[in-house]
Amino acid sequence: MPVVTLSTDIGQTDYIVGAIKGQLLSADASNTIVDITHQLSQHNYQHTAYLCNNAFRHFPDGTFHIIIVNLFEALPKHMLIAEHNNQYIACPDNGILTTVCGVTPLNVTAIDVETPHSFGVLACTQALATAIKKLGHTPNLQHVGRPITNIKEKYPLRSTIGADWIDSQIIFIDSFENVVINVTKEEFEEQRRGRNFKIIFTRDEVIDKLSENYASVAPGDKLAWFNSAGYLEIAINKGNMAGLFGLRGFSENTVKQALLHNKLLYQTVRIFFVD
């Protein structure tokens, strides 16, 4: 029973997600289909990488992960399927593969997409459903598509590091407006070197200690902690961190929109280290 996950930017207000599931089941009725999210950000690939990586690592070997995000950045003449960490990732050739993997996978194949007169998402996902069915019988990528080495590459953003500070991007804001930045516990401790730290926000508000969880502080208080994915998360217990401090997920379009509407938005968080 193949496991197939879906992560998309489609939302769930129309029939498309249901139709994709129908395609997968029509190709192989034994498929087990798992929704990860259908609320990916079209322009924030760091957001996609954070959500997908921290979900994918809990799935068994051989799982197929379909990622549909920013599909029509250009006309998709083919889709990609790659082997990565003993699983398969299927996605558009728009840079999302290398952003999620952090590297260019060694084994990548192109799945050509038929382009009917009315061309949309379902033409691409039908090609993937057919390829996944074939891979279930013959787990060799070269038998389902054509080898490809020249793919579009984008890579995760890295923090900027100074002698006594780290500038990190906001990679995810959850539905409670808690904010995750791209610093892991290992990276934080390596740069901290036993020193104290300060995260300074507008209005001279500061976080200068780590908490174990949300219950470590009183309702309304700020906190910083390393979440279950191992990333630094800043929040207000029973509050709205992102909204209160004007924090937004990092993307190329955010700055343009902020300038257009004369808004002050912060896409990075600076951590200071002090002796």
CA angle, 213 then 218 then 220, to 5°: 105
Cα–Cα distance for residue pair 240/9, rounded to 1 Å? 24
Phi, psi of 188 (to 5 degrees): -60, -50
Side-chain half-sphere CA neighbours of 143 within 13 A: 9
Among the listed residues 80, 61, 68, the one whose alpha carbon sits nearest the alpha carbon of residue 35: 68
Per residue in 7-50, pLDDT tens? Answer: 999 999 999 999 999 999 999 999 999 999 999 988 889 899 99
Burial class (CB within 10 angstroms; exposed 0-12, middle 13-18, buried 19+) of 207: buried
Cβ–Cβ contacts within 10 Å for residue 190, how many?
10
Q: Running DSSP on this structure, what letter comes out for residue 206?
A: E
Give the C-alpha distances (Å, rounded to integers) separating 240 from 22, 156, 167, 202, 247.
Answer: 38, 26, 22, 15, 10
Q: Running DSSP on this structure, what letter comes out for residue 230?
A: S
Q: Running DSSP on this structure, what letter comes out for residue 202?
A: G
pLDDT of residue 65: 98
Q: Length of the chain, please? A: 275
The yes-or-no verdict on residue 264 having pLDDT over 50 is no
Burial class (CB within 10 angstroms; exposed 0-12, middle 13-18, buried 19+) of 128: buried
Cβ–Cβ contacts within 10 Å for residue 232, how many?
23
Complete domains list, the chain, with CATH: 3-147 (3.40.50.10790), 160-274 (2.40.30.90)
Per-residue tokens: 249 = 């997920």
Give the lowest-confidence range in 86-90, 260-264, 265-269: 260-264
Per residue in 94-129, pLDDT tens? Answer: 999 999 999 999 999 999 998 765 678 999 999 999
Give SS3 for 236: strand
Per residue in 127-137, pLDDT tens? Answer: 999 999 999 87
Pair 113, 121: CB distance under 8 Å: no
Phi, psi of 207 (to 5 degrees): -115, 125
The yes-or-no verdict on residue 255 having pLDDT over 60 is no
Among the listed residues 109, 112, 79, 111, the one whose alpha carbon sits nearest the alpha carbon of residue 94: 79
Per residue in 166-185, pLDDT tens? Answer: 998 888 989 899 999 999 99
